[in-house]
């Protein structure tokens, strides 16, 4: 009887099969949105889709044609002991039922992969030359400081989508990682310890013409180009007092940084006209340019008392117009717009069943 009534209603509204399918798809999307998005988030996001379903999945970046995402994951069910690189056709692949294709070697630890022009190759950092095993995770510190490891065995490589390494782009002592590619396809920006401090550098996509971009004391990392390739945005710590400087340098000697006090900076792609964009306090990081090139989206915990949760915010390049985008009570970070500006991929602890899993989500961007 329900089917008869449903058919009658369809006929009454003169729905064509195509219209009927579109209506049903919209209902499914709406149901997904209500489960995965908070009401306040629906001003900016719709038709959200969960991509991964276990482990820690982060730093997902689009292919140039926006059909694929390359990302890092430590999901044990996919045979990982620590972060390795995978790619997925986000519209068609079902990672709830099938593992994605691993495109790193499976050796060492990897980080920060990015598609190269043509979408047949990618760039990423790996520790595998020093040791096939995963490098040790820093033990919990007696002083209670939260730290990130800066493994000196990271170097930057290019590889094809079968996992075959094509070239090694860096060969300097110390940390070389966090490589991302200009939308123009001509330059790579990365973080390196080759000067004795964590600074930004650019190079051609073949590793030539290396240029230092930053020089102030502190951690400069997580940089991205603007849509037209003319600017860079990144996160940075800037220790000022003698105590802060000593702490930063002492941790760096141990191969560690404390990422709990960072702000966002923007400069021209050649390193000129460096400007501090945020002065919010706490950790402001994972910035990415809005498709217009005039705003930034980023992750921050500046509104919290205990340093948690992290949410996504947007801000103009002149530091005005701070707007909260996500309202989850856990962790939202690594927001990246598709090249066509229609979609946003990000990592989140939402919908993880109370576990610590961090999964990838893609949503249509409907904000300004």
What is the distance between the alpha carbons of residues 59 and 70, in angstroms, rounded to a whole number? 8
Structure confidence by residue, pLDDT tens digits, 322-357: 999 999 999 999 999 999 999 999 999 999 999 999
Cross-strand partners of 212: 201
Structure confidence by residue, pLDDT tens digits, 171-184: 999 999 999 999 99
What is the CATH code for 103-269? 2.40.128
Q: Dihedral of the CA atoms 96, 97, 103, 105 (nearest 10)?
A: 100
**Strand-pair category, 187-192 with 311-316:** unpaired
Confidence of residue 308 (pLDDT cuts 50, 70, 90): confident
Map tokens 């490098």 to a residue: 135
Please give the C-alpha separations between residue 270 and each of 144, 230, 295, 296, in angstroms, as whole numbers. 38, 8, 20, 19
Structure confidence by residue, pLDDT tens digits, 136-145: 998 888 888 8
Contact between 145 and 258 (Cβ < 8 Å): yes
Residue limits of CATH 2.40.128 in the chain: 103-269
The pLDDT of residue 11 is 30
DSSP annotation string for 35-104: HHS-GGGGGTEEEEEE---SSBEEEEEE-TTSSEEEEEE--GGGT-SS-EEEEEETTT--TTTSPPEE-S
What is the distance between the alpha carbons of residues 327 and 339, in angstroms, rounded to a whole number? 25
Mean pLDDT on 266-277: 98
DSSP annotation string for 214-232: --SSS-EEEEEE-TTSSEE
Does 282 have pLDDT greater than 50?
yes
**Strand-pair category, 68-73 with 84-89:** antiparallel
Burial class (CB in 10 A: 0-12, 13-18, 19+), 176: buried
Q: How far, in whole angstroms, is CA 6 from its chain's centroid?
A: 44
Structure confidence by residue, pLDDT tens digits, 28-38: 456 689 899 99
Q: Give the H/E segment covering residue 334.
A: strand 332-337
Half-sphere exposure of 79 (CA within 13 A, CB side): 12
Overall pTM > 0.85: yes
Does 22 have pLDDT greater than 50?
no
């Amino acid at each position: 009887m329900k089917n008869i009534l449903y058919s009658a209603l369809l006929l009454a509204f003169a729905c064509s099969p195509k219209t009927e399918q579109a209506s049903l798809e919209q209902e499914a999307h709406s149901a997904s949105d209500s489960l995965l998005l908070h009401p306040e988030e629906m001003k900016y996001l719709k038709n959200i889709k969960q991509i991964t379903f276990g482990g820690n999945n982060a730093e997902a970046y689009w292919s140039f044609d926006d059909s694929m995402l390359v990302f890092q994951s430590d999901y044990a069910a996919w045979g990982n002991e620590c972060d390795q690189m995978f790619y997925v056709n986000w519209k068609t692949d079902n990672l709830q039922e099938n593992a994605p294709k691993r495109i790193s070697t499976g050796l060492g630890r990897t980080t920060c992969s990015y598609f190269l022009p043509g979408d047949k190759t990618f760039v990423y950092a790996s520790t595998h030359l020093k040791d096939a095993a995963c490098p040790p995770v820093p033990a919990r510190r007696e002083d209670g400081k939260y730290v990130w490891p800066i493994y000196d065995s990271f170097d930057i490589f290019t590889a094809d989508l079968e996992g075959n390494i094509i070239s090694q782009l860096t060969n300097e002592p110390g940390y070389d990682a966090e490589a991302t590619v200009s939308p123009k396809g001509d330059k790579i920006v990365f973080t390196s310890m080759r000067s004795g401090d964590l600074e930004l550098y650019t190079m051609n996509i073949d590793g030539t013409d290396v240029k230092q971009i930053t020089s102030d004391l502190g951690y400069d990392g997580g940089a991205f180009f603007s849509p037209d390739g003319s600017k860079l945005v990144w996160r940075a710590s800037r220790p000022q007092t003698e105590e802060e400087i000593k702490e930063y340098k002492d941790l760096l000697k141990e191969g560690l940084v404390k990422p709990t006090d960072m702000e966002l900076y923007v400069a021209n792609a050649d390193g000129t006209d460096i400007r501090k964009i945020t002065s919010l306090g706490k950790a402001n990081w994972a910035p990415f340019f809005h498709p217009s090139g005039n705003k930034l989206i980023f992750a921050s915990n500046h509104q919290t008392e205990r340093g948690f949760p992290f949410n996504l915010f947007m801000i103009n390049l002149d530091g005005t117009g701070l707007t909260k985008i996500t309202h989850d009570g856990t962790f939202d970070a690594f927001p990246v717009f598709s090249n066509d500006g229609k979609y946003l991929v990000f990592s989140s602890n939402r919908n993880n069943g109370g576990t610590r899993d961090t999964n990838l989500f893609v949503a249509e961007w409907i904000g300004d």
